[in-house]
Each structure stands twice: as structure tokens, then as C-alpha cells.
């Protein structure tokens, strides 16, 4: 009840509400006038029959007849009186039992319920909200970003323009604000001038409108936007976007980096200052059958094994882990250390890579462009001849057709990359290719994160999520390049040395035992120490580069009470 005055005030603010109430009052006044007229006629007819009743009795009789109660204590004896009673009865049925409830529900009760529902959806961020991230669309990339922001304890607000969607998300624990995306007042209520970042992730035309609307209010807040079309990049930049991302191109390059073979054996998948991260398949090398202890990788090359992939399952390194044909090592080191690794473990036949790309859309074409730069031969299988481009070799046909795949070279492909935007199709093609070629390296795209594990179970060796890649790119921008995604669910994070560890060594810190994360580099005043010695002394002036899964990283942040901070750079 304590919220009733505020809800009523909110309800009465709308012009439509006031118009509905006026219509309801007009109907009630007409009904009162009719009841009064019936009461007057009742008196005249009763006097004609020689009976006298008070005015209260007249209203009493009229209401009991119109409401069909009909107590029968007052009745007419003449036919004209009975005809009048029937007129009052039928009009009462229509007005009191039909029109009055309908009018009341339509013009008052339903709008009242709708107003109460709307009042539950937040329309404004609390005063004092600052350094928050505004997400303008609840697409897979936006929701993935929100999950990561919550994990890193970063404030955020999701803008939603549909009431029911806003309420559903609000009930699910998502911090939403209801408002129109092209209304400047919406962004004033979102405290846009105090925001750390605005992520604009709708359609290209809508994104341009949002960017222009925000720039009318604030010229400094960083805005990162997504562009589907290459032509939209310049348009959004002119509208005021700080950075415009084409995720299909980024995803294509990332998928191409997972190819086995080419001019190098260890494929670089990421870089953090001088530190390089690479994936190196064990198949065909002298490492097969050895344990990490027996391989002596660090002693011989200087690189550090930070993780192991086994058929899509990531494991933290175990020195007694046995390396097999399906093992892919995740290595960290400097460029010089990787050169030594190539000289020591480069396998024969690596340069004879051949890649089969299933899907010739924008992601598939981006993969092909990246492979062209590395001079890796490839073919694209695409069933729609309208998307065929002359820049790459195409085989037109269904990827589910054996003859088409054989024509495209499935028999001698070293890697198959599946790039369609339909996860069900990707799972289907992964199962099919794995059955045809049990030994081939399969890399697949996932649109929704919930399908990542399914794709791995279907036989994919590596899966890259469109939504996670996008959210990590935004997070890198927000955190000033403090976070980098290596693979799905595996991140590198740059953090200060926790106060508890000041003065201790890596060997005595117990970081890996407590959190599951590994320190792969240290930033000092003199530069970056890649793969530092376990006995090096940690100081508060240093920063560490940690590698680990998201849950392990969250454990580290909680264990040492650290919050990732960073300010987006305007030119990033």
C-alpha cells in the first residue's frame, strides 16, 4: 500500500490515461442520469396506480431491477408498469452487466495494471552511477559482455526498448533500463556523461542513429560500435564512434589462426606486448609419446606450456601428461624462443597445408583472405552461387553432400573450418566431417556460447564463439588491453602484484595451486620478463600476466581481492 500514491501519480501522468478517465466519467454520468430518469418515471406510474413511494424507494427499485436482483417487494399491477419494468431490466443488463464492466476494465483497470507493470521496469540509473558500461542491445554479444562485466565486478546497464523483455531480463537479475534508443532523454537517464563506455551493438542504421544521439549530449564518452557492412565503418566513424568493429572479419582472422600447417608449425594466436601465444599440434613431431617433463621444452627452447588441448578439452599443464596425436600445446614465449622451437620441433610436410572452408559468407571470406596472406591453399564450399567471389576458389554445392566435399578436397585437407552462422548446421557438419576424416583438424564457429561444448563433443578440435570474441574485444578496449582471450574460456589478464605476494617468489606464492592460473610474464621498469624464473622476487612495482580459464581468473580476483581497472584509450 505504501507504493500506491506513487503508482497512482505515475498512472495519472499520461495523456492517454487522463483521456480514458474522462471517457469513463462521461459514461458514469450518463448512467446516473438514466437511473434518475427511471426513478422519476417510477413515481409517476406508481401514482397512476394509486401508490405513493419516497424518492429513496424510487432509486432502490430502479437499481434492484437494473441489476437483475429483483427482490419483488415493489411491483407494478398494470401492463404499462410491467412494460416499463422490462425496459429498465433490459437496459440494466446492457449498461450495468455488460457496458459498465467492459468500460471500467478498458478505460481504467487495464491501463492501471499496465501502468503498475511499467512502473516495475527501471527507467533511470540511480544518481551517482559512474564508470559504468552502457549496452544498447541484448544480442548474444551484448549478453556475453554483460556476463564478463559481472564477473569482473564492473557496473553496467542494458538498454531495452520493449517492456516485456525488460521485465524478463530484470527478473533474471540483469540491470536494465527501459527507454527508446533514439531518445536523448534515455541517455540522460542512463548517465551517459559519467559512463566508462557505450557499446552500440544493433543494426548498422540504428547504430548510426544511436551514436549521433549520444554525441549530441556528450562528445567525450568512448563509444564502441559493431558494423556488419564494410561501408558502415566510415559512416559510424563520422557519426562519432570511437572505434568501429567488424566482428565477422575479426572472427575470420581468428579462425584462420587455428589452422594446422603453413609456413610455421606453432601458430601465433595472440600477443601481449613482447609475449606471444601460440598453438602447436604435437602430431608428426618427436614429442609424441613423451610427457612434458621428458620433452624438456622450456630447457631446450625457453617457451612455456600454459595449456593443453585434447579434442577440444582444455587442461592446465601437468608435467606427467602424456602427449598424443590429438594433443595441441598452448605455448607462451618471445619471438626468439618460438624461433628456437621451430628449429627444434618443426615437422616435415608442414608447408603442405590445405584448408577446406565450409560456408562462403562474410566470415568464410575473411578466413580465405587471411589464408591468402599466409599463402595457404584452400577452397570454399558454398551452396548459394550468389555469394561466390573470384578472389578464392569455390566449389558450389552443399557441404553435406559427399561428392561436393570430395570435389573440394576433403580427402587431403589438413584443416576444415566451419563458418556458417547457424550452430545447428555447424554441429551437423562437424559430426559429418569427423566421420569422414577422423584425423583432420576441425575448427568451428559458434554463435551462441551454450553450443560450444556441443560442438566439441561433436568432434571440433577448436571452437571460437562470435559472442565471446566480440565481448572480449570490448573488454580489452575497456580495460586498456588488460584482458585477452586466447581460446574459448581461456584468457590472459594483466594484473598488479597482490599486496599479499609483495616480497615472495613465484615458487612460494602458490598461485597455481590456489587459483589454477599460471604466471607467464612479469612487467618491470626494465621491460617484460617472459617465462620468469620461479625464484624471482615479486614486488609491488611489477605487473603479472596470468593465463587461465575464466573461473580460475575469477578465483584469483576473489582470493587476492583485486578489481580489474583501466581507461579506454581514445585512439584504440
Same domain as 319, residue 222: no
As separate numbers, helices (DSSP H) first and strands (DSSP E) second, the chain gives 23, 22
211 and 295 inside one domain:
no
What CATH number is given to the structural domain containing 268? 3.30.70.1450
How large a percentage of the chain has pLDDT more than 90? Answer: 30
What CATH number corresponds to the domain at position 30? 1.10.287.70
pLDDT digits (tens, 9 = 90+) for 231-242: 999 999 999 999
End position of a domain, from candidates 345, 372, 391: 345
- Residues facing 134 on adjacent strands: 157, 198
> 477 in a domain, yes or no?
no
Where residue 318 falls among pLDDT bands split at 50, 70, 90? confident
> Which grid cell is 186?
534515455
Residue 572 lies in a domain: no
- Give which of 186, 190, 242 is closest to 219, Cα–Cα: 242
Buried b or exposed e, range 510-544, using 16+ CB within 10 angstroms: ebbeebebbbbbbbeeeebbbbbeeeeebeeebeb
* Mean pLDDT (the chain, rounded): 84
Task: Report the side by side order of strands in the sheet with 462-465.
Answer: 394-396, 378-382, 355-358, 415-418, 441-446, 462-465
Beta bridge partners, 51, equal: none
Same domain for 140 and 114, yes or no, is no
Q: Are residues 327 and 363 in the same domain?
A: no
pLDDT by residue (tens digit) across 431-484? 999 999 998 889 999 988 889 889 988 988 888 888 888 888 888 788 765 777
User: Where a domain ends, among 85, 120, 155?
Assistant: 120
How many separate domains does the chain show? 5
Residue 278 lies in a domain: yes
Instruction: Report yes or no on 256 lying in a domain.
Output: no
Per the structure, the complete domain to which residue 521 belongs is given by 489-559
Residue-wise pLDDT for 35-63, tens only, equals 899 999 998 898 888 888 888 998 999 88
Say whether both 309 and 402 belong to one domain: no
Structural domain contains residue 19: yes
* Domain closes at, from 345, 366, 383: 345
Q: Is the pLDDT of residue 219 over 80?
A: yes
Residue 482 lies in a domain: no
* Same domain flag for 333 and 415: no
Task: Note whether 144 and 239 are same-domain residues.
Answer: yes
Are residues 152 and 100 both part of a single domain? no
The string over 418-447, giving b where at least 16 C-beta atoms fall within 10 Å of a residue's C-beta and e elsewhere, is: bbbeebeebbbbbbbbbeebeebbbbbbbb
Cα separation, 427 vs 563, in Å, equals 37
308 and 231 together in one domain? no
Task: Kindly state whether residue 62 falls inside one of the protein's structural domains.
Answer: yes
The answer on 231 and 189 residing in a single domain is yes
- The answer as to whether 565 is a domain residue is no
Q: 238 with 278, same domain? A: no
pTM passes above 0.85? no
CATH code: domain of residue 371 = 3.40.50.720
Asked if 341 and 370 sit in the same domain, the reply is no
Amino acid at each position: 500500500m505504501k507504493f500506491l500514491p506513487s503508482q497512482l501519480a505515475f498512472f495519472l501522468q499520461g495523456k492517454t490515461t487522463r483521456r480514458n478517465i474522462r471517457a469513463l466519467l462521461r459514461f458514469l454520468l450518463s448512467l446516473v442520469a438514466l437511473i434518475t430518469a427511471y426513478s422519476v418515471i417510477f413515481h409517476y406510474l406508481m401514482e397512476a396506480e394509486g401508490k405513493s413511494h419516497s424518492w429513496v424507494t424510487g432509486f432502490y427499485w430502479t437499481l434492484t431491477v437494473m441489476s437483475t436482483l429483483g427482490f419483488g417487494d415493489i411491483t407494478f399491477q398494470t401492463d404499462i408498469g410491467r412494460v416499463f419494468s422490462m425496459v429498465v431490466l433490459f437496459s440494466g443488463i446492457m449498461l450495468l452487466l455488460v457496458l459498465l464492466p467492459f468500460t471500467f476494465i478498458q478505460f481504467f483497470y487495464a491501463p492501471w495494471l499496465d501502468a503498475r507493470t511499467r512502473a516495475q521496469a527501471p527507467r533511470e540509473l540511480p544518481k551517482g552511477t559512474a564508470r559504468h558500461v552502457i549496452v544498447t542491445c541484448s544480442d548474444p554479444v551484448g549478453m556475453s559482455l554483460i556476463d564478463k562485466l559481472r564477473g569482473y565486478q564492473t557496473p553496467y546497464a542494458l538498454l531495452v526498448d520493449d517492456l516485456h523483455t525488460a521485465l524478463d531480463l530484470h527478473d533474471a537479475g540483469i540491470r536494465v533500463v527501459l527507454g527508446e534508443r533514439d531518445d536523448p532523454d534515455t541517455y540522460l537517464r542512463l548517465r551517459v556523461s559519467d559512463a566508462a563506455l557505450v557499446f552500440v551493438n544493433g543494426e548498422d542504421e540504428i547504430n548510426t542513429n544511436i551514436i549521433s544521439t549520444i554525441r549530441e549530449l556528450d562528445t567525450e564518452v568512448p563509444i564502441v560500435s559493431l558494423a556488419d557492412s564494410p561501408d558502415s565503418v566510415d559512416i559510424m566513424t563520422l557519426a562519432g564512434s570511437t572505434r568501429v568493429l567488424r566482428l565477422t572479419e575479426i572472427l575470420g582472422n581468428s579462425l584462420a589462426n587455428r589452422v594446422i600447417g603453413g609456413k610455421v608449425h606453432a601458430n601465433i594466436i595472440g600477443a601481449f606486448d613482447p609475449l606471444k601465444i601460440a598453438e602447436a599440434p604435437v602430431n608428426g613431431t618427436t614429442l609424441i609419446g613423451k610427457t612434458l617433463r621428458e620433452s624438456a621444452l622450456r630447457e631446450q627452447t625457453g617457451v612455456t606450456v600454459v595449456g593443453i588441448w585434447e579434442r577440444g578439452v582444455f587442461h592446465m599443464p601437468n608435467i606427467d601428461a602424456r602427449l598424443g596425436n590429438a594433443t595441441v600445446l598452448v605455448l607462451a614465449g618471445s619471438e626468439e624462443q618460438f624461433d628456437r622451437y621451430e628449429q627444434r620441433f618443426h615437422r616435415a610436410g608442414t608447408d603442405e597445408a590445405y584448408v577446406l572452408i565450409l560456408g562462403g559468407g562474410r566470415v568464410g571470406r575473411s578466413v580465405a583472405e587471411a589464408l591468402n596472406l599466409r599463402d595457404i591453399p584452400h577452397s570454399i564450399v558454398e551452396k548459394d552461387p550468389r555469394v561466390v567471389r573470384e578472389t578464392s576458389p569455390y566449389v558450389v554445392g552443399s557441404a553435406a553432400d559427399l561428392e561436393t566435399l570430395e570435389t573440394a578436397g576433403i580427402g587431403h585437407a589438413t584443416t576444415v573450418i566451419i563458418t556458417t552462422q547457424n550452430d545447428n548446421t555447424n554441429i551437423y557438419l562437424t559430426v559429418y566431417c569427423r566421420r569422414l576424416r577422423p584425423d583432420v583438424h576441425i575448427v568451428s564457429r559458434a554463435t551462441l556460447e551454450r553450443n560450444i561444448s556441443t560442438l566439441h563433443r561433436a568432434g571440433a578440435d577448436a571452437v571460437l564463439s562470435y559472442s565471446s570474441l566480440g565481448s572480449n574485444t570490448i573488454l580489452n578496449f575497456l580495460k586498456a588491453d588488460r584482458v585477452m582471450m586466447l581460446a574459448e574460456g581461456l584468457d590472459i589478464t594483466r594484473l598488479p602484484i597482490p599486496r599479499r605476494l609483495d616480497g615472495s617468489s613465484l615458487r612460494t606464492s602458490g598461485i597455481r595451486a590456489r587459483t589454477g592460473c599460471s604466471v607467464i610474464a612479469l612487467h618491470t621498469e626494465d621491460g617484460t620478463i617472459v617465462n620468469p624464473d620461479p625464484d624471482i622476487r615479486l614486488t609491488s612495482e611489477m605487473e603479472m600476466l596470468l593465463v587461465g580459464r575464466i573461473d580460475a581468473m575469477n578465483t584469483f580476483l576473489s582470493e587476492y581481492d583485486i578489481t580489474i581497472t583501466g581507461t579506454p584509450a581514445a585512439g584504440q
